[in-house]
Amino acid sequence: MAILASLVRGAGVVLLGTVALTGAASAQADFYKDKTIELIISTGVGGGLDNNARMVARHLPKFIPGRPTIVAKNMPGAGHVRAANYIYNQAPKDGTTIGTLIPAFVMAQVLDRTDAIQFDAAKMPWLASTSASNSTVYVWKKTGVNTIDDAKKKEVLMGGTGAGSYTTLYPLIMNHILGTKFKIVSGYTSTAEVRLAMERDEVQGRAGNNFNSLKAENADWLRDNKITILAQVGLERDSEFNSVPLMIDFARNEEERKILTLFSADVVIGRPFLTAPGVPAERVEILRKAFAAMTKDPDYLKDSAQAGLDVTLVEGAKIQKIVEELIQTPPDIVVKAKAAMDPKSLVEKPKTSEGSKPSEGSK
């Protein structure tokens, strides 16, 4: 009888434990019911990141228990640092704010580029990336600049947004390390504005546009051979553009290769989504699973294809590791990388230019 009583008591403990775990899981599942998730976008309206974010806002809710509403909000500024600061410091720590940011803000932290940085990217829970694509540096074909060697001999006006954005970062690095003569006209409020500035011949080229966005937004530029892609940025060549050299291919020694690799590594992160530090681990897992499920959904894949948005899932845990490794970059490489970002080739665009008018929603 004593043994039977002991078994009964043990079974009761197991049952209570199971009920407790089920209740906790149910509480997490019910959390998002009738909630609104704020989706912060670190660029202005228009452009690949913004279009991708709004596609996710439409489809992700059905994969989150409770089916919350997702509302997109653009927050450009300071090379994506403004959005990162907001998510890290001001956003609720409960999973009701997520963000999608160009990964340049991670490099801003690595290089300690500005006193405005008030975040630690390694402590932010990374949820997923829905697309990863190499970045580019390209100019109008009519410039006559067909190679990086040509860009060392002839000045080319490149459109730029924030000081820490890829639009300005890549040309600055290439000027310092490779000896190109890019002149960056900065101050455009969005990459969509840079695109318009190119069409108006205010500038002759741009950097920092990934292949996915280029194919989606300006397929005619590729089809009609209107631009020359001087370099692609990443760790491996895009199979579709295998003849275009990587930025790291131009390194002349191991030190240059290490610096150029540092500026190329975060491209692997693609178009990532993250949330605020302090969000419960169970809720982070709910969001990660939702992204994984969404990227397999036929409706999402169909709508993305129709919008010209490629879908390639990079799991949040993998991104977390990449970011942590970037943050731990050796100090000597950081010092040399910072020296490669001399802003002397930066100029502000004319205030009287039509391009100075902010695009709607990016003010």
Is the Cα dihedral 130, 132, 137, 140 positive or negative?
A: negative
How high is the pLDDT of residue 165?
Answer: 81
pLDDT surpassing 70 at residue 359: no
Mind listing the pLDDT tens digit for each residue in 93-135?
999 999 999 888 898 899 876 678 899 999 999 999 999 889 9
Task: Please give the model's pTM, rounded to 2 decimal places.
Answer: 0.70
Q: Using CA atoms, how far apart are residues 168 and 246, in angstroms rounded to an integer?
A: 18
In the predicted structure, residue 66 carries a pLDDT above the cut 90: yes
Task: List the single range of 5-14, 200-209, 237-246, 261-270 with lowest mean pLDDT.
Answer: 5-14
Q: Which of residues 12 and 201 earns the better pLDDT score?
A: 201
- pLDDT digit string (tens) for 227-254? 999 999 998 899 999 999 999 999 999 9
Share above pLDDT 70 across residues of the chain, in percent, rounded to a whole number: 86
Per-residue pLDDT at 355: 42
Q: What's residue 347's pLDDT?
A: 66
> Taken in order 37, 43, 46, 51, is the CA torsion positive or negative?
negative
State the pLDDT confidence band at 360, using cuts at 50, 70 and 90: very low
Residue predicted with more confidence, 8 or 87: 87
State the chain's mean pLDDT as an integer.
Answer: 87
Tokens of 39: 């989706």
Q: Residue 280 in 3-state DSSP? A: coil
Dump pLDDT digits (tens) for 165-200: 889 999 999 999 999 999 999 889 888 899 999 999
* Sheet bearing 272-275, strands edge to edge: 69-74, 36-41, 97-100, 272-275, 126-129, 314-315
Give the C-alpha separation, 282 to 276, whole Å. 14
Structure token pair of residue 38: 């704020």
Cα-atom radius of gyration of the chain, to the nearest Å? 23
Residue 313 has pLDDT above 80, yes or no: yes
Question: Would you kindly state where each structural domain of the chain is located, as residue ranges?
Answer: 34-132+269-332, 135-266+339-355
Structure tokens at 262: 């540092």
Read off the pLDDT of residues 74-83 as tens digits, 9 standing for 90 and up. Answer: 998 877 899 9
Q: Is the predicted pLDDT of residue 320 greater than 50, yes or no?
A: yes
Residue 29 — pLDDT band, cuts 50, 70, 90?
low
CATH code reported for the domain at 135-266+339-355 = 3.40.190.10
Mean pLDDT of 16-29: 51
**Taking CA 90 as the corner, what is the angle to CA 84 and CA 93, rounded to the nearest 5 degrees?**
95
Asked if 107 contacts 266 with a C-beta cutoff of 8 angstroms, the reply is: yes
Average pLDDT over residues 28-42: 91
Q: What is the reported pLDDT for 114?
A: 63
The helix (H) or strand (E) run that includes residue 126 is: strand 126-129
DSSP state of 170: H
Which CATH superfamily groups domain 34-132+269-332?
Bordetella uptake gene, domain 1 (3.40.190.150)
Determine the average pLDDT of the residues in 35-45.
Answer: 94
Range list of H helices, the chain = 2-31, 48-59, 81-85, 104-110, 148-151, 166-178, 191-199, 211-217, 219-223, 254-265, 281-294, 298-306, 316-327, 331-339
**Cβ neighbours around 292 below 10 Å, total:** 15
Residue 344 in this model has a pLDDT that exceeds 80? no
Indicate if 135-266+339-355 has the same CATH topology as 34-132+269-332.
Answer: yes
pLDDT of residue 190: 84
Give me the pLDDT at residue 2, please.
53
pLDDT tens for each residue of 209-219: 989 889 888 99
User: Does the pLDDT at position 6 exceed 80?
Assistant: no
